[in-house]
Structure 1
Amino acid sequence: MSRLYYSRKRVMVTGGAGFLGSHLIDRLLAEGHDVLCVDNLFTGSRDNLVEAAKNPNFEFMRHDVTWPLYVEVDEIWNLACPASPIHYQHDPVQTTKTSVHGAINMLGLAKRLGARIFQASTSEVYGDPHVHPQPEGYWGNVNPIGPRSCYDEGKRCAETLFFDYHRQHGLDIKVARIFNTYGPRMHPADGRVVSNFVMQALKGEPITIYGDGSQTRSFCFVDDLIEGFLRFMKAPAEVTGPMNLGNPSEFTILELAEMAIRLTGSGSTIVRQPLPADDPKQRQPDIALARKALGWQPTVPLEQGLERTIAYFKQFT
């Protein structure tokens, strides 16, 4: 038999119909694996899986990870959870349940199967940081009872569960802390800053900035992030993370708005609104660990990535 047969794995991706999950599935299929996509389609979309669905090695299952799942797989990627404030604040109790119950169910499955499991955590575990840029050793500054807490604390609890399963049961885990990521297949109405600015610019609407626009973010193009995912998952078992994955190039929100206007050729103006509660003033990853352990760093500049994102969003205007 071919080497491909022996290297092929049956891989499960929860949240696979989402922005990141669908890009990950495309790469896994390209590597020759059998891929099971599990998604309840709360924020994901079958439209993101059009190409994947043409592949005979792809299978879709509609399922909510807050309920147990009994399947046979070699590897688990847990990406299931709404990731934008407008979506995760819609039903905050369900968001917390997805992070916590979902983690428990997927960890239990991984334990039964002896499978390596990847957790898509978030830079939001750092809250509104007092340390800049944020290294993995920083414990964060998070409000446990605010409107963003369902996501922030849900993801923090999920990390706790992953490392307790690792220590108590010897589970093979990978925990990635994902910083702001953008690119094709973002939901045009997800409320995140890139999609907001691009859609407003394409429609010629005023671009809404919250606060004075001096708050910073670091934007990683989706292709770069998925490459980091794959390298991390293939790293030796002792490389558990948590590991920051994101682009350390820092931009103010005002700079992003001005770039969106310029690249779309828009006549949009900029308007300001009050800053939302618990909105972080700074966000920039320290990726020294990823550089050392994975030989990984982003390669797509913001302007180039935005051009590709704008081309995708034009279909919605």
Structure 2
Amino acid sequence: MAVRHETELYAPLKKFFEQQGYEIKGEVRSCDLVGVRGDGEPPLIVEMKKTFNLALLLQGVERLKLSPAVYLAVERCREKKGAASQRWGSLSHLCRRLGLGLVTVVFYKTKAPLVEVLAEPEAPAGPARGGGRRRERLLYEFHERSGDYNTGGSASVKLVTAYREKALRVAAALEAAEREAALAAAEGAAPVDGGGPIASAGPVRAPIVGALPKGVTPAELRRRSGVPAAAAILQNNYYGWFKRIVRGRYTLTADGSAALLEYAAVSVSQSVADRRSSAEKSNMQ
């Protein structure tokens, strides 16, 4: 059966390489699939297309500047009749000559897809040349992401990058701080820098209108979110999620609230990771 979109190749390829010990993430700095296995190994890069063509070949050669472990992945359709589908031996030989690997995926109606490696990438003799800075950026983006939220081969869709994740963490922290401040105001307690209430001595007094500080400071959001660059994210406001109401204080916009709903899975996952990290630090102390 022929696939309609190259994104359909991602799931079986991800599972296949995870079984080889790789941690896999999709759409990392324009690479369809990136895998990391061990500190000393070069990153795995896989570029996918529905069929083998010149564009895929050129893309693979370009990726060799980042890593010697580059595979081209295409569907191997058993029903397709044509010269290209019958010349896998020649295509494998071509990939080996260029230092590329070749992987095919066969889809069935009633059983799991079959992933087959037709050619392993063969690194050229001698030390790798160039691409060091780009490879560092690729690995930095990979490690800064908390999970795999993108499907490799996606086009014209919003990708969950490391920067977007951090902005979501800041937005979630801001929403929580404003919610706590509103609750404190309703209960008549004084908020802590836009955060939670503090215990008051004696009877609770009625809140004074206009006495509560508006917005949340970057320092408080940095503490709550665990994002060191929280201040820069607020000031740049790349996505339009934040609004500065007075000097040094920010509030969440309607777009920011909508983003937290749109990327709820990312936000929830990151919150769980933050809580685990905080618990581990407490246990160590």
* Pairwise TM-score range, normalised by the shorter structure: under 0.3
Normalised by the length of structure 1, the TM-score is: 0.25
Greater relative contact order: 1 or 2 (C-alpha under 8 angstroms, separation 6 or more)? 1
Normalised by the length of structure 2, the TM-score is: 0.27
Structure with bigger gyration radius: 2
